[in-house]
Amino acid sequence: MTITEITSLHLNREWVRLAKIGGHTRKERTLRPLSAKTVRNIAGVVSSAFARAIRWGLVSTNPVTNSEPPRVKKHFGVVLSPAQQELVLETAAGPWCMRVFLEVSAATGARRGKVLALSGNRIGLQGRSVWIGENQIAYLPFLCYSAG
């Protein structure tokens, strides 16, 4: 099949095939389904290839625009109540800094990597504030400073 013979129907069938058995496991190489997000990413790459082919004069239309890649399911975050949050903090086990890490994460809403990358000059102990990038993110009432 040449590139000019590919239609939206062919691509729809390929999106379904990828979603059912498009991938494989690393060790055993057994077939497994691909996620809807992965299939949409593949559709984006194919669409870019067809856009380039249009510029080069190889095809006249982009069949990906009329195909229907799978929709990605929306994920909703879970918000803890203050009581649940306090329970998590009370039961925090592990290194000595785990409780502070969890409190800063909860107060700022920042991602794990951003919280771990905080340095001393980005945390205002006197004003009890945290700066991530150029933005003052949160007031941290639990942050205490003692000079000695």
Q: Is residue 128 part of a domain?
A: yes
Please tell me the total count of domains within the chain: 2
Based on the fold, state whether residues 94 and 54 are members of the same structural domain. no
Q: How many helices (H) and strands (E) does the chain have?
A: 5, 5
Q: What is the pLDDT of residues 96-135, one digit of tens each?
A: 888 888 888 888 788 888 888 877 776 666 666 677 766 6
Residue indicated by tokens 């990828």 = 18
Low-confidence ranges of the chain (pLDDT < 70): 122-129, 133-148
Give the range of the structural domain holding residue 127, as residue numbers without chain letter: 82-139
pTM: 0.59
Based on the fold, state whether residues 61 and 109 are members of the same structural domain. no
Tell me how far apart the alpha carbons of residues 20 and 88 are, in angstroms, rounded to a whole number. Answer: 39
Based on the fold, state whether residues 126 and 93 are members of the same structural domain. yes
The pLDDT value recorded for residue 147 is 44
The pLDDT value recorded for residue 34 is 95
The pLDDT value recorded for residue 148 is 41
Based on the fold, state whether residues 10 and 40 are members of the same structural domain. yes
Q: Is residue 22 part of a domain?
A: yes
Q: Where are the beta strands (DSSP E) in the chain?
A: 23-24, 31-32, 123-124, 129-132, 135-139
Based on the fold, state whether residues 43 and 95 are members of the same structural domain. no
